[in-house]
A and B are shown apart, each in its own frame.
Chain A
């Protein structure tokens, strides 16, 4: 027992060393704090993208960076207040659910800049980083409908909330423009925070959808989505080496997670958005206001790389790129489920 405790303490000390130290050191540098969502920064997806953005900012700019991963929703606000109390210059909250907390803290610290990813706020010192997920989902919905052989495609959402409905509605509309008769099965992992961290449920939902005929599944469910990746892999590849079932990744480019089984990823460039807000703060530009990222400024898109270039036909890519152009031009209106 003793040796285990000792090993644990060593591990703790080692982990402690790698953390950047608190703000007392270098006052001349801009201090940036980031508070992640429940999924945690290693979700290969939404939080991972935000983490990527601040890490890149820390490489390119002389900032002091500190990240906090709350274990449960109740520790979000204390984490944020702790950063504010230490006079951090910019505090970023990742995830819509942090919006009311950030607003509360931001009102108490009017001289500190805040930013919330996915949340909408009108408090002057809070920047809202909003994405047009419905437009990107529309494009991957088109790819799904072009690729399916069964005429049935699936959608797995994490938590059953309006933000995720935005993905689902866009996806369905995209699929239906390609083939009005396509059947879109929609499922959600759950209604609590644990919905982001339950790959077992994710896999079970994916298997059920495949059982009902789906051969392309778009998963927007953080860590739970990885279960859908496992599920499609289980169905293997045909004689030609092409996967029988596909999954579509979300937020980060997830094409590499299961090469050959990931049709594409609906990328949401949270990394760029976060990077830019840090840059604004470093350059002393005003940070507040609403920043919208969509197809037109490459804030949203679909991933095409060496892992999936053979999975999607040129014809599909042409029609998707045409739709992208028309969405930007305003000729196609994709329903935003959060504005209904």
Chain B
């Protein structure tokens, strides 16, 4: 069977990795009660920073670290707006997505005289495998953190019932800040993998919607690390299968294969395959009582 060859498995893993990193980032933010629709923008920021810094330094590790730093900075905008100033989280996230379409273009103009793409990075300065290892190693680590540590308990409490958490002496703002900043760093690694792992340059809007797909995977995975990983693998598999199947079966267009994960997500959201319940305080800014 054509679909289950070794190459197909690797292809699935490569395509799932950026989704997984972004989705795990989203998991942190959303479990703390902050909607992170900005994953797309955070990935773009990470992809651009990684490519630029790697181009100048020649070291993908420095590029990766810079991308994480960049992701944290961009996420900080989201955090301050949503947590401190209680802005609408969807609106802020959308604003970041739009902002990150433009900022790399602007900086590329200043640095490289181009409009939205970095020069190509030589093959010796790329990191094709490390982010994959990071992504899949993070899954058990985050599952442990979330369910077996005090921090994880507080994170979940803040996302479910911030009033109660606050009463118990947990700093709701502190936890939410930490969660959103971590989510920025993780999504940025996902973006960095696109530019310095899977390809060799940044081009404008190169995420091509992967941030939103990651968000769908997070919802499909019911905001749980292992399920989210499985969802990302399914999405990656659908993408890889669509690539393999293009032109193989006559009359069946690949779009029909590509839509399968989205249809599944909608079915899950509609409650047909078990209930996918969002953290209860998701999207609700926390107003500290005086």
Contact = CB atoms under 8 A, between A and B. Distances in A.
Nearest to B7: A211
A4 B247 CA distance: 49
Interface residues on A, range: 35 or more
Interface string B98-141: 00011101110110001111001001000000000000000000
B208 A69 contact: no
Given A69-B115, A201-B208, A204-B243, A257 B120 contact: yes
A128 B106 CA distance: 32
A230 B199 contact: yes
A158 interface: no
A11 B243 contact: no
Contacts of A201: 208, 243
A201 B213 CA distance: 15
Contacts of A43: 117, 203
B201 interface: yes
Q: Report whether over half of chain B's contact residues are helix, strand or loop; otherwise say mixed.
A: helix
B11 A207 contact: yes
B111 to A, nearest CB: 8
A211 B239 CA distance: 16
Nearest to B193: A200
B123 A203 contact: no
B240 interface: yes
Q: Report whether over half of chain A's contact residues are helix, strand or loop; otherwise say mixed.
A: helix
Contacts of A233: 123
Given A197-B204, A223-B203, A227-B199, A204 B14 contact: yes
A199 B199 contact: yes
Nearest to B111: A11
B201 A226 contact: yes
Interface string B10-29: 01001100100000000000
B199 A194 contact: no
Contacts of B199: 199-200, 202-203, 226-227, 230
B271 interface: no
Contact of B106 (A4, A15, A199, A227): A15
Contacts of B203: 40, 43, 197, 199, 223, 226
A141 B78 CA distance: 51
A73 interface: no
A197 to B, nearest CB: 5
Interface in A49-74: 69, 71
Contacts of A12: 106, 110
Nearest to B203: A223
B134 to A, nearest CB: 17
A14 B102 CA distance: 16
A40 B200 contact: no
A257 B198 CA distance: 17
Interface stretch (A77-85, A180-188, A273-281, A313-321): A180-188
A8 interface: yes
A207 B105 CA distance: 29
Contacts of A208: 7, 11, 243-244
By Cβ-Cβ distance, the 3 closest A-B pairs, closest first, are: A11-B110, A199-B199, A42-B114
Interface of B: 5, 7, 11, 14-15, 18, 73, 101-103, 105-107, 109-110, 114-117, 120, 123, 194, 198-201, 203-206, 208-209, 239-240, 243-244, 246-247, 255
Interface of A: 4, 8, 11-12, 14-15, 40-43, 69, 71, 185-188, 190-191, 194, 197-205, 207-208, 211, 223, 226-227, 230, 233-234, 257
